Structure 1
């Protein structure tokens, strides 16, 4: 599994005995925050100017296998050094230049950069920025997460696998799902219509719009994620003819017409962990394909408990036929995690409900 640097306490300037320090508290944890990295790793903390991102100071840090949190204290600096400086703090692996999403080379630990802070003593907003380079794309995918305990506003492992697989399919290096390859590679006279359910931070749908031209992406989730999704849409750099939107969607009360045009692709990433919500999820998928019968549904999941298996029974009962692929992500001690991806399409015939 991938591990993520997170701020338990966001950075701030702190005055001690006429000197100024930058203080923060970090951890390295899983997407759900339920486990900590049990390996020694060398980190580098970089204090940079907010406007130019010019590095002002760097200091090495050491995360030890038994650690659950790591204090960060940079300095001392003179008050003149920090006067009128709005700053950011970046934490990354010492031997890593950038975080690249690529098959067999995704980093074990994802870097993180704070929101701006200073020049006074107020801490940075409770956010962390990921800059992810998808394969050979020159511009990073910039995604903000919240640093709190809401898993709805974090990046999850299956989202990273979805992006890797979509990029491979768009470029033609993966042919495991021919229907998806045809959809993403074919010339289009009108924009591809994509909807992401349970979008969270919106990373998968935003990534699709940055990789694929002539694409309209609608991100959907509960009202609680609207602020973080809007922030990420504003950071996004989609292809010239692609667009990204957000709309609140409650699976228990979906609108009759979510999209004005037929949907081509529905993205579902790490939405199967809560078995209680699975009937509602499949019901929403059922509603969407009633009006868009040719839509493909790309589901990415990392199995966390046995109860998730009911999802496949529900999809089978709703006459969705799957194809399967796997994407590997790094795990501790040179092992790998397998993320499952399924491409579904509604089966035609008299047995369809």
Structure 2
């Protein structure tokens, strides 16, 4: 799977001799940005305005202008310039305008979670669209860079939308790390959870993912409590809280550097979902916060957290503290895309800590112009 990213945020380029234009630069990379897309991908760039006139939050967006562009393999090293002519844009001094860049073909779109399973069954790959922050409409001389550049991903299922913001790169040199944002294993786990939601319609399930009976049984409880470790942007926990009304409490945890993104993404959730989900700092190398230590968790979620072997020992210790004898038998669900052999240490340490793999599933993940990959989902319990 690939992700469209802004290397340079969209900005207005006024000119006395030509129509106003909005310019941006994009790239297409894998989830961690470790490699570019080496396939030709037709893209569509849209300029959208919030027709409601809102200056923040919500909005009813309509298209002002558009442009077709093509991503080619050679563009991985420089990025692609996106230019959309917008003759009337300079007159808009109020309201919000944004840029959306997406694949021109609907078959590549993964904004609908069910498309993840269609693509897996049909052995096709996806490209995740991106939406910009509101564009600064002041003349070029008045523009100032944003304090922190952000970009938005939007996913939907069962009539509900998830708005997930992430840090946006401002330089080709930053392609190796983009901060907290959706990644392959978290995205697939989120779509898996949505598939088994009580909000899901059986008639719409054309393709089915592999079943995980223990996880499905936990999700069918009258009420249950969920903790996510290494939440990043929060997509997994937010998906669960959104698609499972029975979830009594969902706490997303990560290091302090993820707090700003988590705060923003959680704040966008509508009521009553926002009343049962929260986030807090949790460092795996330190004792658990009192409220987390004293809670009997039904489900502990971990996605995309095992690729750095240096932190795996602390992760396993944290999982051990959460499932100490005398606590409820929490199901620990780990979703991962194995990136290198050193990740095997996670399974060795889990076994040493008394964890047993109770169930597992593999989901094929096609990659444009590259070998296919797999997302693996494991259900662990102690003893």
Taking structure 2 as the reference length, the TM-score comes to 0.83
1:351 paired residue number? none
Residue 78 of structure 1 and its aligned partner are, at CA, apart by 4.8
Equivalent residues in 2 for 1:175-254 (5 A)? Answer: 176-186=211-221, 188=222, 191-215=223-247, 216-237=249-270, 243-254=276-287
1:143 paired residue number? 164
What root-mean-square deviation, in Å, do the aligned CA atoms of Structure 1 and Structure 2 show?
2.3
Residue 336 of structure 1 and its aligned partner are, at CA, apart by 3.6
Q: 1:132 to 1:119 in 2, by over 3 A?
A: same
Which runs of no fewer than 5 residues in structure 2 stay unpaired?
Answer: 55-59, 203-207
Q: Are 1:264 and 2:293 an aligned pair?
A: no
Q: Are 1:126 and 2:158 an aligned pair?
A: no
Residue 64 of structure 1 and its aligned partner are, at CA, apart by 1.1
1:43 paired residue number? 43
1:350 paired residue number? none
Residue 57 of structure 1 and its aligned partner are, at CA, apart by 0.6
2:379 paired residue number? 343
Q: 2: CA distance between counterparts of 1:145 and 1:166?
A: 21
Q: Are 1:61 and 2:69 an aligned pair?
A: yes
Q: 1:272 to 1:83 in 2, by over 3 A?
A: same
Counterpart contact for 1:328–1:336, Cα < 8 Å? yes
Count of residue pairs the alignment pairs up: 341
Q: 1:328 to 1:141 in 2, by over 3 A?
A: farther
1:14 paired residue number? 13
Instruction: Detail structure 1 runs of 4+ shifted over 6 Å in the superposition.
Output: none
Residue 142 of structure 1 and its aligned partner are, at CA, apart by 1.1
Q: 1:297 to 1:87 in 2, by over 3 A?
A: same
Q: 1:162 to 1:331 in 2, by over 3 A?
A: same
Counterpart contact for 1:199–1:220, Cα < 8 Å? yes
2:364 paired residue number? 328
Secondary structure of the corresponding residue to residue 308 of structure 1: helix
Q: 1: CA distance between counterparts of 2:110 and 2:354?
A: 43
1:297 paired residue number? 332
Match of 1:280 among 300, 314, 318: 314
Residue 153 of structure 1 and its aligned partner are, at CA, apart by 1.0
Secondary structure of the corresponding residue to residue 73 of structure 2: coil
1:72 paired residue number? 82
Counterpart contact for 1:209–1:242, Cα < 8 Å? no
Counterpart contact for 1:85–1:119, Cα < 8 Å? no
1:40-99 CA distances to partner (integer Å, 9 max, x unpaired)? 111111111134311111111111122121001111525654444531100111122772
Counterpart contact for 2:20–2:90, Cα < 8 Å? no
Secondary structure of the corresponding residue to residue 54 of structure 1: strand
Taking structure 1 as the reference length, the TM-score comes to 0.89
Secondary structure of the corresponding residue to residue 153 of structure 2: strand
1:104 paired residue number? 118
Counterpart contact for 1:175–1:181, Cα < 8 Å? no
Q: 2: CA distance between counterparts of 1:335 and 1:227?
A: 35
Q: 2: CA distance between counterparts of 1:217 and 1:127?
A: 25
1:28 paired residue number? 28
Residue 246 of structure 1 and its aligned partner are, at CA, apart by 0.4
Counterpart contact for 2:67–2:83, Cα < 8 Å? no
Residue 236 of structure 1 and its aligned partner are, at CA, apart by 2.4
1:163 paired residue number? 190
Q: 1: CA distance between counterparts of 2:71 and 2:271?
A: 36
Counterpart contact for 1:158–1:269, Cα < 8 Å? yes
Residue 36 of structure 1 and its aligned partner are, at CA, apart by 0.9
Q: 1: CA distance between counterparts of 2:93 and 2:313?
A: 56
Which runs of no fewer than 5 residues in structure 1 stay unpaired?
Answer: 348-353
2:103 paired residue number? 93
Q: 1: CA distance between counterparts of 2:298 and 2:282?
A: 18
Residue 127 of structure 1 and its aligned partner are, at CA, apart by 1.0
